Structure 1
Amino acid sequence: MSLRVEQSLSQLLHEAFVSLRTLGKRSVLALLGIVIGSSSVVALINIGHNAAVDAAMIFKDMGTDTLVVQFPPKGGGNRTMRTQLDLDAVRQAVPGIAHIGALSLFSGPMVFHGRTTNANFVGSTPDLHQAMRLDIREGRFLSSFDANETYAVVGAKVAQTLGTPGDPLKLGDRVRINDYLFQIVGILHEQPRAMLMPIQGGESLFIPAEGMRRIYATPAISNVVIRAAPGQDMERMARDAAAALQRQLTDHTVDIQVPQQMIDGMTRQSRTFAYLLLALGAISLVGGGVGVMNVMLMNVSERRREIGIRMALGARQRDIRNLFLLEAVTLTAVGALCGAVLGMTAAWLYAWLSGWAFSLAVAALPLGVGSTLLVGLFFGIYPAVSASRLQPVEALRDE
C-alpha cells in the first residue's frame, strides 16, 4: 500500500514538473514573481531584525542599570546649579545604589609639549568612573584624597591626539590648562560611544571636582550618574533618587533618564517597523500568487482535452484537483527556496552596506517559506477546483 502511494506521489510530481516545463516562459514569469515575493519577506524580516539589534546596541554600553540625572531650572530660568550635592545622603535614602557620582563640565584647549587639542574638562567625584563604567588602562582614577591636587585622568582619544609616536602622553606627564599644570595619574581605555551619557570618556579630561575653579570661575553640577546594584527595580530607584535629590534643591527640578524605558520604547517602534516591512513583503508575495493563479488557469484552459481523457479513463475529480494543486505548490516551492536564498543574500548585503553586524532572524526562513507555500496553495485552489469540475464530454470536444 505504502509503495503504491509512494509511486503515485512520485508520478504526480513527475507529471507536475513536465507540465510546468511545457508552459515555458509563462511558468518562468510566475516563478519569478514568487521568488521576488518570497525574497522580499525573508529580506525585510531580517532587515527589520538587524535594525532593531543595531538600535539596541546604542544603549548596551550604558547598561540598563544606570540612571542619568539632569537639573533643569524651574520655570525655564537661568539660575546657576549648585556646586556640590550630598551624594552620601542620596545613597542612604535610596537602597540599592552601587555607585553614584556627580560631574561638572567645561570645555577648552589643553597643551602638551606644544601640541594643543580641545577636550571636555570634567570635574569628577571619586565614584564617577564606577558609575559610568570607565575602564582604566594605566594608572588609577581620582580618589577622595586628590581633592586639592592638580591631578588628572585622560581619555584614550585625547591622549592619542596629544601624543606622537616618538613622544606619547604617559603617566606622570603634565598638561597645561590655562595657567595650571595637571599631572596625568591615569589613562582610560578606548571605549564605545555611550549615547545617553552626558560625556564621552575618551574625549575628556577628568580632574577633581574641587579643582574645577582653577579653570572655570563658577563651576556647577550638570549631571549625576547612578548605577544600581543587580536586581533592582529601576523605576522605583528613579522615583526615590529624584525625591532625595529634590530635597537638596530649591531652584531646579530633577529629571532622570531611565534607559530601560527608552529601550522598551525603541523595541516597540522596531516591532512596528518590522510589521510594516513584513506587510510590504506580503503585498509583493500576493502579487506573485496572482501570477501563479493566472498561469494555472491558462494551464487548465490549454489542457481541457487532456483532462477529459483522464476522466474518461477513470480519473476522479479529486485526482484532477490534486494534480493541478500539486503543480501550483511545486511551482511555489521552487520559488520559495530560491527566494529564501536571494532574501538572505539581500539582507546580508544590506547589513554589510549599513555597517551592521548581521544576525539571522529566527522567524525569517520559516515565515518566508511557509507564507509562500500557503500563498501558492491558496491561489492554486481555484484553478485546481475549476479543472476538477470540467465535464468529460465537454472537455473531449476541444481540439
Structure 2
Amino acid sequence: MSFAMAVRLALKGIVANKMRTFLTMLGIIIGVSAVIILVSVGRGTTASVTENIQSMGTNLVTVMITGRGINNSLTYEEAMSMSEKTGVSGVAPVASGSITAKYGTKTMEDVSLEGVNGDYAQVRNQGVQSGRFILPLDVEYRQKVAVLGIDVVNEIFGSVNPIGETVQIDGIDYRVIGVLESKGSSMQGSSDEKVIIPITTAQRMLKSEGVRNIYVAAESPEVVTLVVAEIEQYLLKKFDQDEDAYRVFNQTEMLDTVNEVSQSMTLMLGGIAGISLLVGGIGIMNIMLVTVTERTREIGIRKAIGAKRKDILRQFLLESATISGVGGIIGVLFGLGVNKLLTKLAGINTQSTLAILVIAFSFSLVVGIFFGLYPANKASKLKPVDALRFE
C-alpha cells in the first residue's frame, strides 16, 4: 500500500468520528498553546525587565545600607563623600517613603516619595518632560518644591498644567516645578507614580536624617569594578569590617541575576505546560486503542486480502500522528492569538519566536507518534482469522 493511500485511509478514519477526534485533539491543543503562551510571557517579561535595567545605564552602582542596631544608615554628608572616590561621576542618595498627594478636591494615596539631590537626574538617567528638576540650591535651602510623575499629574491635576501650581503633600504645600518623563514600571516600582522633592526636605518630613539607598554613577562601564571596590572598602571601614551591613551591586550583576531567574522560571513554566501535552498523548493512546477494537474486523479483512503488518502499523501510526499534528497546528494558532490578546488588552509583553513554535509543534507530533505506537503495533499483530471472528 502506498504512503498516499495510507494517508487517505487515516484521514477517512478521523473524519468518520469528528467529535471524538476533536476531543482527543483538545489535550494536544491545550498543551501546545499553554507551552507557547507561558514561554512567550516568560521571555517577554525577561525582555521588559532587561530593558528597564539597561535604561538606567550600565555604569550605575546601587548601594543599600542595612547596618546593625542603631548604626543602620549613612548621613547625607557621608553618602556624598563617595563622590571623591576614583572613577565616580555622580552620587545620588535617596530618602524614600509613602505620602498622600492632594490638589483641590482630588486626592491620591500611597504615592511613592523620593527625596533626592541635583545629581539624581544624571545618575538615574531621569529627565523631565516639562519644567525643571531639583537643583542644588533647592537641597541647600530645603525648598518646598516637587517634581511629579505623569500618573500623579493625570490623577489629581487632570487637564490642568501643574507647573507653578501648589500641591499638598501630607498636608504641606509644595510648589510644582516639573513633570517627570514617563519611564513605566521597573523592579523598584512605577516611575510614573511618584513625587520627587529635595532630600533635605524629605528627611525633615520623614523625620529621618539617615540615608539607606545611594545610587552612584561611574565615569564609564570600564571603571565600574573599580568604583564598586572603592565603595566597599569605604563601607567596610565605616561599619567596622561588617560585610553584612551593606550591599553593593552594579547593573551587570543585576542583569545576570534577573536573566538566570527568568530562564529558570521560563523552563519551569514550559515544563509544567508540557505535562498537559503528555496527558493529551495518553488521550490519543486511549482513543487509538478503542479505534483498534472497533475496527478489528476491518483489520482482519484487509489482512485477508493481502495487507501486510507494516501497512496496518503505518495506517494507525498515521492516524495518531495526524490527530496530534492537526492538534499541534491549532494549538500554535490559538497560542499566538492569546499572546496578541494579552499584549493588546492586558499590556503584557509576550515574545513568540519561530523556535518556540517549532519545538511546541514537534513535541506534540512526537507525543502523538509515541503514544500511538502501542495501539498501532497491537493492530498490526492481529491474526486475520481471529480478527474476522471478532464480534
Normalised-by-shorter TM-score class: 0.7 to 0.9
Q: Find out whether 1:99 has 2:90 as its counterpart.
A: yes
* Correspondence for 1:37 among 20, 31, 35: 31
Aligned to 2:325: 333
| Contact map agreement 1:154 1:188 (CA 8 A) in 2 | no
What is the root-mean-square deviation in Å for CA atoms of aligned residues?
Answer: 4.4
C-alpha contact (below 8 Å) 1:152/1:205 kept by paired residues:
no
Q: Contact 2:14/2:21 (CA < 8 Å) preserved in 1?
A: yes
Question: Secondary structure, in 3 states, of the residue corresponding to 1:154?
Answer: strand
Q: In percent, how many aligned pairs have the same letter?
A: 26
Give the Å deviation of 1:329. Answer: 1.0
2-structure distance, mates of 1:136, 1:235: 30
**TM-superposition CA deviations, 1:161-193 (whole Å, max 9, x none):** 786866x4436x788999x99877655434434
Deviation at 1:153, TM superposition (A): 5.7
The answer to whether 1:77 aligns with 2:77 is no
- Give, in angstroms, the shift of residue 251 of structure 1: 11
User: Which residue of structure 2 aligns with residue 223 of structure 1?
Assistant: 213
Shift of 1:383: 2.0
C-alpha displacement of 1:348: 4.3
* Structure number, greater radius of gyration: 1
Q: Which stretch shows the higher mean deviation, 51-60 or 316-325? A: 51-60
Deviations 1:330-374 (A, max 9, x none): 122111112222233344445666541333255432122111100
What TM-score, normalized by structure 1, do the two folds share? Answer: 0.74
Matched residue, 1:10 = 4
CA-CA distance at 1:64 after TM superposition: 4.8
Paired residue type of 1:99? G
**What residue ranges of structure 2 are gaps of 5+ in the alignment?**
none
Matching of residues 241-252 of structure 1 within 5 Å: 241-247=231-237
Q: Distance in 2 between matches of 1:305 and 1:219?
A: 89
- The SS at the match of 2:93 is strand
1:22/1:124 CA distance change after superposition, 3 Å: closer
- How many residues align structurally? 385
**Following TM superposition, by how much is the alpha carbon of 1:133 offset from its aligned partner in structure 2, in angstroms?**
1.7
Shift of 1:262: 4.1
Secondary structure class of the residue paired with 1:232: helix
Per the alignment, residue 366 of structure 1 pairs with 358
- Name the CA shift for 1:41/1:208 in 2 (closer, same or farther; >3 Å): closer
Question: For the structure 1 residues 357 and 14, does the alpha-carbon distance in structure 2 shift closer, same or farther, using more than 3 Å as the test?
Answer: same
Change (3 A) 1:215 1:337: closer
Distance across 2 between alignment mates of 1:111 and 1:237: 41
Match of 1:134 in 2: 126
Q: TM-score, normalised by structure 2?
A: 0.76
- Counterpart contact for 2:41–2:348, Cα < 8 Å: no
Q: Which residue of 2 aligns with 1:256?
A: 248
Question: Shift in Å at residue 323 of structure 1?
Answer: 1.7
CA deviation after TM superposition for structure 1 residue 139, in Å: 4.9
Moved more, 285-294 or 123-132: 123-132
The answer to whether 1:46 aligns with 2:53 is: no
The 1:54/1:310 distance shift into structure 2, 3 A limit, reads same
Structure 1: gaps (5+ residues): none
1:226-246 Cα offsets, whole Å, 9 max, x none, are: 123453375664333221355
CA contact (8 A) 2:37 2:338 kept: yes
Distance in 1 (CA, whole Å) between partners of 2:320 and 2:345 is: 36
For 1:207, the equivalent position in structure 2 comes to 198
Structure 1: distance between partners of 2:99 and 2:30: 56
Tell me how far apart the structure 2 counterparts of residues 116 and 294 of structure 1 sit (CA, whole Å).
Answer: 61
Letter paired with 1:241: I
Verify: 1:357 aligned to 2:349, yes or no: yes
